Chain A
């Protein structure tokens, strides 16, 4: 019984490093306060409302991606993987382009925002499940081949999207182009509400699976030995990952390396392998990175949209550092 195994673990493991989680929570709260209050002037009520919507988007996306990455890394038995590295952003771009191409620019734009969001999320979830399933099936041979395959599928999807973009009208292309970079400046409130509701279901679900995830982290053979139906659990977790990532990406656009930053920091700061701690830590860290970054860029540097690029750059460097330190070996 997985529950028994988890209970056995709990007896052996040291007490939860909850202090780190509380610390992260305090930092996140401070960041939120700073984001809401710095540089307030003029019609304060109106500005606060605008900021609150943006803050909610940052929290939902950061939290969702942080959670998804921890789950994904556990399933993949690898600490430097994220859905983003396996071509998820390329998948998003491809689906976006394909939708514009098949529906036409006007058809795409005239879809009700909520409906469009649900279609995008749904299509991405199915496609992601197929992609992950394909990759994980060949995992028996070796991990790096699977990774490389994922990255190249990403390149292929990106090129295909480029090809479609060349074939469409300039006005249709403009619709696609606005979706190419992640942006928190024009988040639709209906979509945000749907995403928030979805996350409010999935994150507690992941939290409830923490014990099972601890067992899965021991590896397939050990998990089977401890009585866990490993393959079914993997499928379930991957479904959650696909839902979270698809939803976050459909909301603001692709951010590949944020999850890596959040998950690595969570491991480093909490110093534990317990998912009951890791999941909330990574979720809050993902949100904190976004909120702090956005605060610095908007209020301190006076810039609007380079946050996503900086996260990509910093996350990429972190990835290389992790590789060099031999985490993958």
Chain B
């Protein structure tokens, strides 16, 4: 293991310990029960969700060849919400796996729509791609709001729109392990991802089935996004901020950086969740709100420092 990985692991362990100790109820007689049913699942959910979203961000950035995109700025998250909304309207009692599949398909639709939009943009303008993505997300979000408003589901939509770990208990978060598994698969195909990031022509010259890599990558991103939205709600900016910071510090060799990206995402989400639990103790602020503020601020910094320019492709 390299030194950054070891350091991030140690920091993560400290955060996880803190997360286990913090909460509205005190650890006393029923401590083990509390830990097993509530605190540990919550901590694990935050770790899995953060790692998976950060890796999904890296995959998106490689596929689109732009540093400033991630699922929540490309219509993927909003697509998943629309799908969830539709299945809730059509078949409210459907099992979770069905809801998940519909959400994943709709998320895929969202990201494919985004690709169709940016297909015509001039590749020289790296800032246009995320801009179009944000507006595309906004339009899908407006569509979702309208549907929800018609069907009196605005509150439901609110639940999906801001990621929140307060409802996580044993038995309610396990789908996130699947998202974690996808992140591991992404690590195993890190080299293929790096090659995909070189562009279609060069990837083909290097012997990679570029089309197939795109399909697999987009499928993975859509699935991770849908899993996270279904279980805890949208967690914005993790997939954007963490990969950018890591690449500034460590460069672009995915085989080397992906573990750090995953650990960084996990740490960011867990830290945000801890902050959300402490700011107004014993009440909570959802992690989506905390990450939204911190992530947007860091994104602005990334965008407007000199590195942002040289890093844009």
Q: A313 vs B147: C-alpha distance in the bound complex, in angstroms?
A: 12
Least distance between B123 CB and chain A CB atoms (Å): 12
Of the candidates A162, A319, A326, the one having the most CB atoms from chain B within 10 angstroms of its own CB is A162
Least distance between A320 CB and chain B CB atoms (Å): 6
Q: Which of A142, A144, A309 is B149 in contact with, Cβ under 8 Å? A: A309
Other A-B pairs beyond A156-B297, A162-B292, A323-B132, 14, CB < 8 Å: A144-B128, A145-B127, A148-B68, A148-B127, A149-B303, A153-B300, A155-B292, A158-B292, A160-B293, A163-B285, A163-B293, A313-B143, A316-B142, A324-B117
Chain B interface, >50% SS class: helix
When C-beta atoms are compared, the residue in chain A nearest to B131 turns out to be A148
Least distance between A212 CB and chain B CB atoms (Å): 30
Is B212 part of the contact surface with A, judged by Cβ < 8 Å? Answer: no
Is there contact, CB below 8 Å, between A162 and B162?
yes
Is there contact, CB below 8 Å, between B296 and A155?
yes
Of the candidates B128, B279, B309, the one having the most CB atoms from chain A within 10 angstroms of its own CB is B128
Is A151 part of the contact surface with B, judged by Cβ < 8 Å? Answer: yes
A306 CB contacts on chain B under 8 angstroms: 146, 149-150
Q: Give B252-306 interface residues, CB cut-off 8 Å to A.
A: 279-280, 285-286, 289-290, 292-293, 296-297, 299-300, 303-304
A141 CB contacts on chain B under 8 angstroms: 309
Q: Which of A148, A158, A317 is B303 in contact with, Cβ under 8 Å? A: A148
Is B10 part of the contact surface with A, judged by Cβ < 8 Å? Answer: no
Is B138 part of the contact surface with A, judged by Cβ < 8 Å? Answer: yes
Given A156-B300, A163-B285, A312-B142, A142-B293 contact (CB < 8 Å):
no
A160 CB contacts on chain B under 8 angstroms: 293
Of the candidates B131, B149, B292, the one having the most CB atoms from chain A within 10 angstroms of its own CB is B131
When C-beta atoms are compared, the residue in chain A nearest to B300 turns out to be A152
Q: Which of A158, A310, A320 is B139 in contact with, Cβ under 8 Å? A: A320
Is A159 part of the contact surface with B, judged by Cβ < 8 Å? Answer: yes
Q: Give A305-329 interface residues, CB cut-off 8 Å to B.
A: 306, 309-310, 312-313, 316-317, 319-320, 323-324, 326, 328-329
Q: A152 vs B139: C-alpha distance in the bound complex, in angstroms?
A: 16
Is there contact, CB below 8 Å, between A313 and B142?
yes
A142 CB contacts on chain B under 8 angstroms: 125, 127
B68 CB contacts on chain A under 8 angstroms: 148
Is B145 part of the contact surface with A, judged by Cβ < 8 Å? Answer: yes
Is B13 part of the contact surface with A, judged by Cβ < 8 Å? Answer: no
Given A159-B296, A309-B149, A316-B142, A151-B303 contact (CB < 8 Å):
no
Q: Give A268-295 interface residues, CB cut-off 8 Å to B.
A: none
Q: Give A157-189 interface residues, CB cut-off 8 Å to B.
A: 158-160, 162-163, 166-167
A326 CB contacts on chain B under 8 angstroms: 120
Is A138 part of the contact surface with B, judged by Cβ < 8 Å? Answer: yes
Least distance between A123 CB and chain B CB atoms (Å): 21
A151 CB contacts on chain B under 8 angstroms: 131, 134-135
Is there contact, CB below 8 Å, between A166 and B286?
yes
A155 CB contacts on chain B under 8 angstroms: 134, 236, 292, 296
Least distance between B189 CB and chain A CB atoms (Å): 30
Q: How many residues of A contact B (CB 8 A)?
A: 35
Given A163-B289, A309-B142, A144-B127 contact (CB < 8 Å):
yes
Q: Give B107-131 interface residues, CB cut-off 8 Å to A.
A: 117, 120-122, 125, 127-128, 130-131
When C-beta atoms are compared, the residue in chain A nearest to B237 turns out to be A155
Is A85 part of the contact surface with B, judged by Cβ < 8 Å? Answer: yes
Is there contact, CB below 8 Å, between B131 and A159?
no
B120 CB contacts on chain A under 8 angstroms: 324, 326
Among all A-B residue pairs, the 9 with the closest Cβ atoms? A159-B292, A156-B296, A316-B139, A144-B127, A159-B293, A148-B127, A145-B127, A144-B128, A155-B296
Is A147 part of the contact surface with B, judged by Cβ < 8 Å? Answer: yes
Is there contact, CB below 8 Å, between B296 and A328?
no
Q: Give B123-175 interface residues, CB cut-off 8 Å to A.
A: 125, 127-128, 130-132, 134-136, 138-139, 142-143, 145-146, 149-150, 162
A328 CB contacts on chain B under 8 angstroms: 128
> 27 A–B contact pairs at CB < 8 A?
A85-B135, A141-B309, A147-B127, A148-B68, A148-B303, A149-B300, A151-B135, A152-B303, A153-B300, A155-B296, A159-B296, A160-B293, A163-B285, A163-B289, A166-B289, A167-B280, A306-B146, A306-B150, A309-B142, A309-B146, A312-B142, A316-B142, A320-B117, A320-B135, A320-B136, A324-B120, A326-B120
Given A152-B303, A320-B136, A162-B125 contact (CB < 8 Å):
no
Q: A328 vs B131: C-alpha distance in the bound complex, in angstroms?
A: 12
Q: A155 vs B296: C-alpha distance in the bound complex, in angstroms?
A: 7
When C-beta atoms are compared, the residue in chain A nearest to B121 turns out to be A323
Is there contact, CB below 8 Å, between B128 and A317?
no
Is there contact, CB below 8 Å, between A159 and B289?
yes
Least distance between B266 CB and chain A CB atoms (Å): 21
Given A149-B300, A163-B285, A316-B128 contact (CB < 8 Å):
no
Least distance between B295 CB and chain A CB atoms (Å): 8
